[in-house]
């Protein structure tokens, strides 16, 4: 099928067409021509204010298949990702069974062969993500995993984290960790502050995140491993203290990186006063001061990527008393729009956090917007407003904090591996 994208502004620093308004002709998944094009095609994408970038990559999403397919299947996950502009998504290992064998890696690789969205499995650092014994990491690297992490669980064992850094260093593989000291955060339901006190709810203090970041950075420095890319990556930081610590570590030359969840920019702890379980996330929504720190971290490059932290949960796990409900929200469809709406950053900064930076951190090939290249593209309008409603949700689970909210940033199409989705 021939598809013509008309008058779209290219945002791709590695392309000769960066910041230029061009037509792009895609035929059988290949960029055939770029310029001012008049051609008979099967489909034309022509709308005011179009932009095109390389396809978005998400560094953190949870698959409920295998194990919990009623909450999300691979098909619905991939469809939600494409609708959100993502062509590649890193999957956390917290499936059932845990992603810790070659067979579990192949499960996602096999699905991805026939899907527009490539689901890239990360593998567990420790067996069953229990934090006590190592998985066969080199075998898993050979099988094609993108990085190592215990996903939703922090690596609480300092010796495990330190040895993992040493173990993965020769392979230049990325270790990703959730910055939370688990005993300090135990039984917490939301950010610890005035609002949690007034609600009578056990809080998760900012110090739980800060202490883990301090520990991990100290161990990274102690390991004394030099690398031109990141070796240690913090997933979903949420506090001003964490941003300051990582900024200083980067200034010292440590091989460290971090990301934030897009929804962390949109809500604060005060928004939970109504006990809405769709706002129950971990790390929790923090304060206005923390959001300002996250925005500053994006602006100065301390924060490398923005992720969806997509975590589908059904009514059984969300529609209950606040303290019993599970943590997590769906985010693949809204991550880009939430970042555009609430980050207060320019478009190029946001696009870098969804395209170049995640691929660099995960050692993935950077797609190119050039003639003759395979099309790995996202087409969007960053200014067009959308009203996100329940009927718009493609995921099987509906646990979104953005239902009924107005956002800006509409996805028009995604292209990858010869497949295309035009919305």
Question: How many residues are there in the chain?
Answer: 423
**The token pair that represents 237 in the structure block:** 């930081």
Q: Provide Rg for the chain, Cα atoms.
A: 21
How far is 180 from 170, CA to CA, in rounded Å?
A: 27
- Residues 84, 409: contact at Cβ < 8 Å? no
How many other C-beta atoms are found inside a 10 Å radius of the C-beta of residue 108? 24
Q: Specify whether the CB–CB gap between 149 and 235 falls below 8 A.
A: yes
What tokens does 295 get? 């925005």
Structural contact between residues 361 and 231, judged by C-beta atoms closer than 8 angstroms? no
CA dist 87 and 83 (Å) reads 10
Q: What are phi and psi of 124, to 5 degrees?
A: -65, 145
Name the CA dihedral angle for 204, 210, 216, 218, rounded to a multiple of 10 degrees: -150
Active-site annotation holder among 58, 139, 309, 392: 309
Residues 254/231, Cβ–Cβ less than 8 Å: no
> Tokens representing 10?
């290219």
**Where are the alpha helices (H) located in 204-311, listed in sequence order?**
206-223, 240-251, 288-300
Give the pair of three-digit tokens for residue 403: 């239902």
Is 46 a known active-site residue?
no
| Nearest-angstrom CA–CA distance, 357 and 375 | 19
- The residues that are catalytic are 309
């Amino acid at each position: 099928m021939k598809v013509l994208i008309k008058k779209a502004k290219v945002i791709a620093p590695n392309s000769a067409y960066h910041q230029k308004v061009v037509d792009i002709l895609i035929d059988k998944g290949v960029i055939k021509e770029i310029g001012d094009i008049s051609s008979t095609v099967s489909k034309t994408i022509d709308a005011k204010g179009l932009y095109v970038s390389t396809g978005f990559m998400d560094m953190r999403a949870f698959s409920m298949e295998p194990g919990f397919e009623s909450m999300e299947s691979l098909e619905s996950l991939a469809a939600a990702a494409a609708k959100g502009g993502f062509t590649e998504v890193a999957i956390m290992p917290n499936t059932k069974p845990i992603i810790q064998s070659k067979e579990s890696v192949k499960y996602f690789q096999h699905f991805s062969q026939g899907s527009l969205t490539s689901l890239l499995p990360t593998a567990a650092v420790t067996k069953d993500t229990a934090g006590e014994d190592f998985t066969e990491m080199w075998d898993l690297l050979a099988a094609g995993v993108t990085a190592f992490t215990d996903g939703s669980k922090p690596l609480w064992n300092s010796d495990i984290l330190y040895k993992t850094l040493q173990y993965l260093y020769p392979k230049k593989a990325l270790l990703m960790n959730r910055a939370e000291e688990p005993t300090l955060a135990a039984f917490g339901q939301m950010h610890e502050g005035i609002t949690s006190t007034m609600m009578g709810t056990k809080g998760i203090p900012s110090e739980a995140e800060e202490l883990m970041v301090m520990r991990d950075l100290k161990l990274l420095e102690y390991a004394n491993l030099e690398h031109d890319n990141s070796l240690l990556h913090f997933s979903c930081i949420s506090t001003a203290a964490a941003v300051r610590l990582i900024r200083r570590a980067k200034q010292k030359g440590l091989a460290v990186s971090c990301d934030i969840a897009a929804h962390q920019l949109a809500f604060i702890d005060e928004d939970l006063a109504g006990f809405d379980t769709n706002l129950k996330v971990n790390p929790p929504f923090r304060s206005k001061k923390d959001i300002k720190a996250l925005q500053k971290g994006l602006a100065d490059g301390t924060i490398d990527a923005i992720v969806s932290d997509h975590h589908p949960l059904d009514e059984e796990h969300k529609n209950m008393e606040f303290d019993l409900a599970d943590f997590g929200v769906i985010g693949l469809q809204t991550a880009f729009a939430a970042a555009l709406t609430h980050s207060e950053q320019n478009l190029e900064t946001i696009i870098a956090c969804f395209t170049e930076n995640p691929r660099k951190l995960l050692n993935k090939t950077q797609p190119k917007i050039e003639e003759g290249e395979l099309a790995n593209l996202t087409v969007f309008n960053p200014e067009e407003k959308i009203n996100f409603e329940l009927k718009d949700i493609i995921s099987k689970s509906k646990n979104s904090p953005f239902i009924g909210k107005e956002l800006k940033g509409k996805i028009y199409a995604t292209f990858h591996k010869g497949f295309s989705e035009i919305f």
